[in-house]
Structure 1
């Protein structure tokens, strides 16, 4: 089974994906962790690395290619990244989108990274705008178009365990016998 968890920074992707992986005994691969590792290896903060990615499209393309290959080549996986649902395409059994208001996400990021919440919110908004432009330019993906997702949840309204319960119920009730209700992903990626 391949589950994808997507959403903007601070939406609870990592927490939820880890909980899903534990619940279903699946491997968890995080695009954010991979991106932060790449930034750290090169001596950049994630925001600085994101800015560099605006000038060097190979950073995004390498990360996205790796995530796409993981989605295609592996089973029994929870793949988590902003584009996981798009990159996994028809290989995904279930695609989740998580979100929360920008201030809530900024507070979560501030707590995680030891920053001022207002600063974290501003940086997050700048990062999101930058990424949205790149996704559209590289792949023709409108990140705000949620039609490919099977379920979208506002994580500000529930604790992580309640979000997990919703997603687990959705997966358990999902009829995997046909793709009639699945939104097609017809993007041809050029990494």
Structure 2
């Protein structure tokens, strides 16, 4: 079973994907802009600005993720566009939360100031949405494409992972 988990920054995609992967003992594929930035020895935010200027980085990232997922029979792919890019996914999960909740999570993880993280989150949402629409014609706010939509605002990562695992078990039964 290939499981695709998507959501905007700060929704817990990486954490939840990792928990689901570990619980089901499926390989985790979570290759992100952070990985590409590290490969290119660049600051993450500088890399994001560069990606706004050229679609090649999004296309490379998305191509590599799908290739990694298709090399596996069972896997968990966690990325912003996983549910759209991995057409062969057996379960498509979208995690959602307000920009304020997501900024608070990023602030706790990365520090800085909450106001700075909120502004970055809103700007990143705006830029990501415009980029995905331009490159692929994807509206990353449209959750109708997902099999399962989870509002993560009041849930712990383990609770979110358990909801996904329960759905997987139902589908495999």
Fold-level similarity (TM above 0.5): yes
- 1:113 CA drift (Å): 1.2
Q: Please, what is the CA RMSD of the aligned residues?
A: 1.5
Q: Deviations over 1:136-162 (max 9, x none)?
A: 111111111112211011111211121
Q: Paired residue for 1:126, among 103, 108, 123?
A: 123
What's the counterpart of residue 94 of structure 1?
Answer: 91
- Please report the TM-score for the alignment, with normalisation by the length of structure 2: 0.93
What's the counterpart of residue 15 of structure 1?
Answer: 15
Summarize the alignment of residues 95-114 of structure 1 with structure 2, pairs less than 5 Å apart: 95-114=92-111
- 1:44 CA drift (Å): 3.0
Summarize the alignment of residues 12-51 of structure 1 with structure 2, pairs less than 5 Å apart: 12-32=12-32, 35-51=33-49
Go from structure 1 to structure 2 and tell me whether the alpha carbon gap of 1:41 and 1:70 turns closer, same or farther (over 3 Å shift): closer
Q: Flag the structure with more relative contact order, 1 or 2, with Cα contacts below 8 A and sequence separation at least 6.
A: 2
SS at match of 1:174: helix
Q: How many residues align?
A: 173
Distance 1:46 1:131 in 2: 14
Summarize the alignment of residues 1-191 of structure 1 with structure 2, pairs less than 5 Å apart: 1-32=1-32, 35-89=33-87, 91-174=88-171
- 1:2 CA drift (Å): 0.6
SS at match of 2:145: coil
- Please report the TM-score for the alignment, with normalisation by the length of structure 1: 0.85
Q: Is the 8 A contact 2:36 2:61 kept in 1?
A: no
Q: Deviations over 1:59-80 (max 9, x none)?
A: 1111111112123232221000
Distance 2:36 2:160 in 1: 29
- 1:85 CA drift (Å): 0.7
Q: Structure 2, unaligned stretches of length 5 or more?
A: none
